[in-house]
Chain A
Amino acid sequence: MAKIELTRNPFIKNMLKSRYPQLAVFIVMLVGYIFAILAGLIGTPVGSHNFSIVFVWIAWWAILILVAVPFFGRGWCAVCPIPLPGEWLQRGAVLSPPDKRPKWLNLCVPKFFRNIWLQNISFLLLALFSTVLLTTPNITGIILAVMLFGSIGLSTIFERRAFCRYLCPVGGFIGLYSQTAPIELRIKDKQMCVKCEGKPCYNGSANGYGCPWDVFPGGLTKNTYCGLCMECIRTCPHDNIAINLRPFSADLAKPSTRTDEAFKAFIMLGSSMIYAGVLLGPWGAFKDAAYYVGSSAWFIYAIIFLAIIFVILPGFFILGILKTNSTLSLKQRFVSLATALIPLGLMFWVAFSLSFVLTNASYILASLSDPLGLGWNLLGTANLPWQPMLTSILAPAQTLALVGGLIWSVRTSQKAANEIKTSSTPVIVFCFINTLVMLWLLL
């Protein structure tokens, strides 16, 4: 399938180039985000009746993992409200660049942190406390506030969107999985970028800001670090930026070369399996251990969690590829072949999320009618009884997602193995065993 340039359509192009449609969405998102913080802090402590829990961990998560990431890649980052207050403060403007910029520190992020390890750590921190986070409104409110104020703080110290690029726990995995999405922002003509003076897409101009994600669009080959903010569409003087429709997982044809990204794939794969076991499984002791943060059982849970992600899964993977023939080092093979885990991990998350989203979706309407749990009934739906949805299709849909993910990963592993001239068999076996485990955990 060839690429289709969506920005050829004048309506789409004008909508993306104008700041006003994006600003309208931003304001709605920011108001909703601040309301979620407040609801978490002052609303009912009953999670299933609090806007912050129901809208963040059920509605938003469902939209993110089932629709936004698989089909729009970093589409969520394009409308995410978290970096906005900090960015407006940093820029000294909401819309076009002002004549004088405010004097913030505007430092470069140190080279040591220019990777996604901090994002890996921040995700793991949230993951280890997730059972409390997912069920306790005031903890959710605090975490949302910390992310908002953390982003503001970083915007006053570092240039561009340092929080989104290097720290956001959600942005890390969205970036990884955005490589599978059928949408991309790319340049049309490389020579045009070579000749372009001043590189306004990166450095900014009177028409817009330099790339907030610290990416030079002329060198983009993957979706991972492009936040789809559309600034480069506004600043490019040669109309050389396009939004394309493309085949799924086009970015994965070239395997990754970065260890932080390879471990991100293991973190996401392992977390989805642990969540499936702890949150959906029949083992009460696991749930208790995960919930009672600070207890000795929780420390054991945390050690097992980290061991699965950093030792057991990568260990079996390395054992599998250890004896394969290749001119590349083991580390290079590990990093390249871990690319095959990206579609598998995404589909594991889809299958896992289907379970709890369909089980808990009926809370959404009730929460809309009484978002703080104060006894309101704005829409007349506050007293809707809890009812799992589409239970008859849940198991077939999960099986389809897992088997589809396995086939997708097998194809990706074959491409990655061809690229580095080695065998894909150990990776296929690894993916197959993990899929069986996930099927057992979910069904």
Chain B
Amino acid sequence: MKRSEIFSRFLITTGIFLAVGVPLFFWSGTPLIHARMSENGG
């Protein structure tokens, strides 16, 4: 496989992981944010 093909696949995979992973990471922390807000009086 050509180096350009490998690099393109790497870029696409990284992009997809970022697009899925970043929102999920922050979303999973959302209940904590709400809990912290309620601890501080809402």
* A interface with B by C-beta (< 8 Å): 23, 27-28, 30-32, 34-35, 38-39, 42-43, 88, 93-96, 98, 372, 374-376
Contact = CB atoms under 8 A, between A and B. Distances in A.
B33 A374 contact: yes
A10 B5 CA distance: 25
B23 A30 contact: no
A34 B12 CA distance: 12
15 contacts: A27-B11, A27-B12, A27-B15, A30-B12, A31-B19, A34-B16, A35-B19, A35-B23, A39-B23, A42-B24, A43-B23, A43-B27, A94-B12, A95-B8, A372-B27
Contacts of A374: 26-27, 30, 33
A27 B5 CA distance: 14
Contacts of B23: 35, 38-39, 42-43, 372
Contacts of B24: 38, 42
Interface string B15-34: 11011100110110010010
A34 B15 CA distance: 10
Interface size classification for chain B: 10 to 19
Q: Which secondary structure dominates where chain B touches chain A?
A: helix
Contacts of A98: 1, 5
B8 A34 contact: no
Contacts of B30: 374
A94 B24 CA distance: 27
Contacts of B5: 93-96, 98
Contacts of A93: 5
Contacts of A376: 26
B20 A34 contact: yes
A95 B12 contact: no
A366 B27 CA distance: 18
Contacts of B9: 94
A28 B23 CA distance: 16
A386 to B, nearest CB: 24
A196 to B, nearest CB: 27
A42 B5 CA distance: 33
Contacts of A375: 33
A88 B8 CA distance: 11
B3 to A, nearest CB: 11
A96 B8 CA distance: 11
A30 B8 CA distance: 13
Contacts of A31: 15-16, 18-19
Nearest to A88: B12
B28 to A, nearest CB: 9
B33 A38 contact: no
A250 B37 CA distance: 60
